[in-house]
Amino acid sequence: MHSCFHISLPSKNLEETIRYYKEDLGLEIGRTTEDWADVNLFGNQITFVTTMSYEFQYPFYSLENNEIPTFHFGVVLEQEEWEDMYDRINRWSIDTIIKTTFFEDKNGEQNSFFVQDPNNYFIEFKTFKRENEIFI
Protein backbone atom coordinates (compact mmCIF):
# COMPACT_ATOMS: atom_id res chain seq x y z
CA MET A 1 0.00 0.00 0.00
CA HIS A 2 1.28 3.46 -0.82
CA SER A 3 0.76 6.52 1.35
CA CYS A 4 -2.19 8.69 0.44
CA PHE A 5 -4.14 11.56 1.88
CA HIS A 6 -7.56 11.26 3.56
CA ILE A 7 -10.02 13.98 4.48
CA SER A 8 -13.62 13.78 5.71
CA LEU A 9 -15.98 16.63 4.87
CA PRO A 10 -19.65 17.40 5.52
CA SER A 11 -22.00 17.05 2.56
CA LYS A 12 -25.17 19.08 1.99
CA ASN A 13 -26.59 16.53 -0.47
CA LEU A 14 -24.79 13.20 -0.72
CA GLU A 15 -26.56 12.09 -3.90
CA GLU A 16 -25.64 15.32 -5.73
CA THR A 17 -22.07 15.11 -4.38
CA ILE A 18 -21.67 11.55 -5.69
CA ARG A 19 -23.08 12.56 -9.08
CA TYR A 20 -20.73 15.55 -9.33
CA TYR A 21 -17.55 13.63 -8.48
CA LYS A 22 -18.47 10.59 -10.59
CA GLU A 23 -20.08 12.14 -13.66
CA ASP A 24 -18.69 15.66 -13.86
CA LEU A 25 -15.15 14.98 -12.64
CA GLY A 26 -14.99 11.35 -13.79
CA LEU A 27 -13.70 10.06 -10.46
CA GLU A 28 -14.27 6.64 -8.91
CA ILE A 29 -16.74 6.33 -6.04
CA GLY A 30 -15.73 3.81 -3.40
CA ARG A 31 -17.66 2.46 -0.45
CA THR A 32 -20.97 4.16 0.22
CA THR A 33 -23.84 4.01 2.66
CA GLU A 34 -26.91 6.20 2.89
CA ASP A 35 -24.91 8.57 5.14
CA TRP A 36 -21.44 8.72 3.58
CA ALA A 37 -19.41 8.02 0.45
CA ASP A 38 -15.72 7.68 -0.39
CA VAL A 39 -14.30 9.37 -3.48
CA ASN A 40 -10.99 8.38 -5.08
CA LEU A 41 -9.25 11.68 -5.90
CA PHE A 42 -6.29 10.34 -7.88
CA GLY A 43 -5.38 7.83 -5.17
CA ASN A 44 -6.42 10.04 -2.24
CA GLN A 45 -9.55 9.39 -0.19
CA ILE A 46 -12.25 11.99 0.44
CA THR A 47 -15.14 10.87 2.60
CA PHE A 48 -18.29 12.97 2.31
CA VAL A 49 -20.64 12.62 5.27
CA THR A 50 -24.29 13.72 5.24
CA THR A 51 -25.08 16.44 7.73
CA MET A 52 -28.27 18.35 8.37
CA SER A 53 -26.72 21.78 8.01
CA TYR A 54 -23.44 23.47 8.52
CA GLU A 55 -21.90 26.82 7.91
CA PHE A 56 -18.38 26.96 6.69
CA GLN A 57 -17.15 30.37 5.70
CA TYR A 58 -13.68 31.20 4.55
CA PRO A 59 -12.03 34.26 3.07
CA PHE A 60 -9.94 34.58 -0.06
CA TYR A 61 -6.33 35.68 -0.20
CA SER A 62 -4.25 37.28 -2.90
CA LEU A 63 -1.52 35.39 -4.75
CA GLU A 64 0.14 37.13 -7.67
CA ASN A 65 -2.93 39.32 -8.30
CA ASN A 66 -5.38 36.37 -8.13
CA GLU A 67 -7.98 35.79 -5.44
CA ILE A 68 -7.53 32.27 -4.03
CA PRO A 69 -9.92 30.56 -1.58
CA THR A 70 -8.18 30.14 1.76
CA PHE A 71 -9.84 26.77 2.32
CA HIS A 72 -9.43 24.43 -0.59
CA PHE A 73 -8.10 20.98 -1.32
CA GLY A 74 -6.78 19.48 -4.48
CA VAL A 75 -4.37 17.27 -6.28
CA VAL A 76 -1.07 17.63 -8.12
CA LEU A 77 -1.22 15.93 -11.52
CA GLU A 78 1.14 15.15 -14.36
CA GLN A 79 0.84 17.77 -17.15
CA GLU A 80 -1.18 15.50 -19.46
CA GLU A 81 -3.60 14.46 -16.69
CA TRP A 82 -3.99 18.13 -15.71
CA GLU A 83 -4.81 19.15 -19.29
CA ASP A 84 -7.29 16.26 -19.63
CA MET A 85 -9.06 17.29 -16.40
CA TYR A 86 -9.16 20.94 -17.44
CA ASP A 87 -10.64 20.01 -20.84
CA ARG A 88 -13.18 17.66 -19.21
CA ILE A 89 -14.38 20.29 -16.74
CA ASN A 90 -14.57 23.03 -19.34
CA ARG A 91 -16.95 20.96 -21.44
CA TRP A 92 -19.65 21.47 -18.80
CA SER A 93 -18.54 24.25 -16.45
CA ILE A 94 -18.52 27.97 -16.96
CA ASP A 95 -17.48 28.41 -13.33
CA THR A 96 -13.88 27.24 -13.62
CA ILE A 97 -11.82 29.93 -11.97
CA ILE A 98 -8.22 31.02 -12.10
CA LYS A 99 -6.53 29.02 -14.81
CA THR A 100 -3.12 30.56 -14.47
CA THR A 101 0.57 30.01 -14.00
CA PHE A 102 1.93 30.82 -10.56
CA PHE A 103 5.60 31.53 -9.80
CA GLU A 104 6.47 31.80 -13.49
CA ASP A 105 10.21 31.37 -14.12
CA LYS A 106 10.74 30.74 -10.37
CA ASN A 107 11.03 27.70 -8.11
CA GLY A 108 7.69 25.96 -7.92
CA GLU A 109 6.33 27.17 -11.27
CA GLN A 110 2.88 25.62 -11.64
CA ASN A 111 -0.29 25.72 -13.71
CA SER A 112 -3.43 25.74 -11.64
CA PHE A 113 -7.21 25.99 -11.82
CA PHE A 114 -10.05 25.76 -9.31
CA VAL A 115 -13.64 24.48 -9.47
CA GLN A 116 -16.38 24.55 -6.85
CA ASP A 117 -18.34 21.41 -5.92
CA PRO A 118 -22.02 21.15 -4.86
CA ASN A 119 -20.99 21.61 -1.21
CA ASN A 120 -19.22 24.90 -2.10
CA TYR A 121 -15.76 23.40 -1.56
CA PHE A 122 -13.05 24.64 -3.87
CA ILE A 123 -10.92 21.98 -5.54
CA GLU A 124 -7.54 22.91 -7.01
CA PHE A 125 -5.94 20.96 -9.82
CA LYS A 126 -2.31 21.81 -10.43
CA THR A 127 0.74 20.62 -12.28
CA PHE A 128 4.35 21.63 -11.76
CA LYS A 129 6.78 22.53 -14.50
CA ARG A 130 9.48 20.62 -12.60
CA GLU A 131 8.22 17.81 -10.36
CA ASN A 132 11.16 18.10 -7.98
CA GLU A 133 9.98 21.62 -7.03
CA ILE A 134 6.66 20.65 -5.45
CA PHE A 135 7.98 21.44 -1.97
CA ILE A 136 10.76 23.92 -2.82
pLDDT tens profile 19-65: 999 999 999 999 999 999 999 999 999 999 998 777 777 788 888 88
The per-residue pLDDT for 49 is: 95
Domain 6-50 has CATH 3.40.50.300: no
DSSP code of residue 135: -
pLDDT at 121 over 70: yes
User: Residue 106: is its pLDDT beyond 70?
Assistant: yes
Average pLDDT on 113-127 reads 90
As a whole-number percent, the residues of the chain with pLDDT over 70 amount to: 95
Measure the CA–CA gap between 114 and 123, rounded to whole angstroms: 5
Q: What is the residue-averaged pLDDT of the chain? A: 88
Give the pairing of strands 6-11 and 97-102.
unpaired
C-alpha 105 chain-centroid distance: 25
Asked whether the domain spanning 60-133 has the same topology as the one spanning 6-50, the reply is: yes
37 touches 47 (CB < 8 A): yes
If you average pLDDT over each of 28-37, 89-98, 123-132, which comes out highest?
28-37
The greatest distance separating any two alpha carbons of the chain, rounded to the nearest whole angstrom, comes to 48
Would you identify the CATH topology of the domain 60-133?
A: 2,3-Dihydroxybiphenyl 1,2-Dioxygenase; domain 1 (3.10.180)
